[in-house]
Structure 1
Amino acid sequence: MAQCAEIFNTHVDWAIENGTYNKSKAHDALYFELRAKHPDVPSAFVQAVRDTAMEAVKATKFKRVCRKKPTSGLRYDKRTMTLRGRLLTLSSMAGRVAVVLEVPHYFEEVFDTWHFKGANLTYDAQKRFWVRLVFETATPEALVENGIQGLDRGLYHLVSTSDGQFLSASQVRAIQRRYLHNRKKLQQKGTLSAKRRLRAMSGREKRFMRDKNHCLSKQIARQPQFTTFVLEDLSGIRAKRRGKQLNKWLSSWTFHQFEMFLSYKAEAL
């Protein structure tokens, strides 16, 4: 991963210096040089990292410098990985690594019927590797408009609907307060065991909120009487200072994630 990060950064520097994110030009200028400098890196990796770097520069329009760390994630494509049934093989510096996947029941339909595109390999703070598979499917045909439901997202009620449904946020706020209290106490303690506990807690609150948003958006999208959902525009709501307590609530409010989940679930159903 460290060598791939160096290859990525070299491509970014070249793109900024030459004012272009053209992949063919980057290949002609850097490919053989980088292959000689990093002989252990498979050629397919050099090309995949080049593509990622050029796309990153293109996305930022040269406005900020993109950099990867030695432990930054890697994007795999069909040049660097294969998936046959439940057997996933990944290219590495030491050759191919084979992994037998255990597919959860709720994901089997996607796994068996959607088109496999690639994956992202990441390395977390607990020194674990994760492979996130990417699938795609055809965009479903738009349904005939059946009914419209307005949705109001809030702090006291996660969602209030135009037909009088209120989905309370009291459980969510209670769990968020508990995580905040535990983090504060452990940070004040500062011992090695407290730091280990903080590492173990890392990401739990985000995973909880992600699951909550998944369940809530699915519940709303599956209503047979509605095919269109209207949400208010909350962009910029965190920009204004509103007091310490309210700002703390706003910073942990995952309203955009809920909107994204509802959007793709409503289109898929």
Structure 2
Amino acid sequence: MLRTIKLKLPYDRTLIETARQFREATQIVLDYGFENKTFNKNKLNKGTYRKVRERIPTLPSALVQTARDTAYEALRATEPKKKIKRESLTIRYDNRTFKFYPDSHRISLTTVRGRLVYPVAHSPLIEKYTGVNTQMPS
């Protein structure tokens, strides 16, 4: 079973830039799906992967694929009669782009500047779902 746990991260320009590029990649796929009236994941990938990589060369391939998946799910959910505009700065991380180290209270995220490690604050939800005590040692 998968769980989503929201964690606060420190403000970081690299994360903001990664989110901005992720949003742009998602919008390219959304626009393609709308213009070509398709919400087939394989067709979306064939029609957009190379374009996204050329327009946003610093966005890692795994995040390009995740942006495609995000757009695909939005297209499938709405079967768009009107164009979808992605405005939020959010990123979906998955097992290719995210690693959690509960013993050291750190996460590793794929960004436009490579893999970066960030500290995470104590969260009772992490304890609940991982069985690991996340209280920082004194």
1:81-107 CA distances to partner (integer Å, 9 max, x unpaired)? 111323211111111121232333465
Query: Which amino acid is the alignment partner of residue 67 of structure 1?
Result: K
Write the mapping of 1:30-45 to structure 2, written as runs, cut at 5 A. Answer: 30-45=48-63
Query: Once the 2 structures are TM-superposed, how far is the Cα of residue 75 of structure 1 from its aligned partner?
Result: 1.1
| TM-score (ref. length: structure 1) | 0.39
Q: 2:92 aligns with which of 52, 69, 75?
A: 75
Is 1:51 the counterpart of 2:73 in the alignment? no
Q: Deviation above 6 Å: which 4+ runs of structure 1? A: none
CA distance in 2, matches of 1:105, 1:8: 32
Aligned to 2:46: 28
Is 1:95 the counterpart of 2:114 in the alignment? yes
Query: Which amino acid is the alignment partner of residue 90 of structure 2?
Result: G
CA distance in 1, matches of 2:127, 2:37: 45
Aligned to 1:238: none
Write the mapping of 1:149-160 to structure 2, written as runs, cut at 5 A. Answer: none
Give 3-state SS (helix, strand or coil) of 2:48's partner: helix
Query: Which amino acid is the alignment partner of residue 81 of structure 1?
Result: F
List alignment gaps of at least 5 residues for structure 2. 1-18, 133-138
How many residues align? The count is 112
| TM-score (ref. length: structure 2) | 0.71
Query: More strand by proportion, 1 or 2?
Result: 1
1:29-67 CA distances to partner (integer Å, 9 max, x unpaired)? 111121122111100110000000010011112133222
Give 3-state SS (helix, strand or coil) of 1:96's partner: strand
CA distance in 2, matches of 1:24, 1:88: 31
- Aligned-residue identity in percent: 31
List alignment gaps of at least 5 residues for structure 1. 114-269
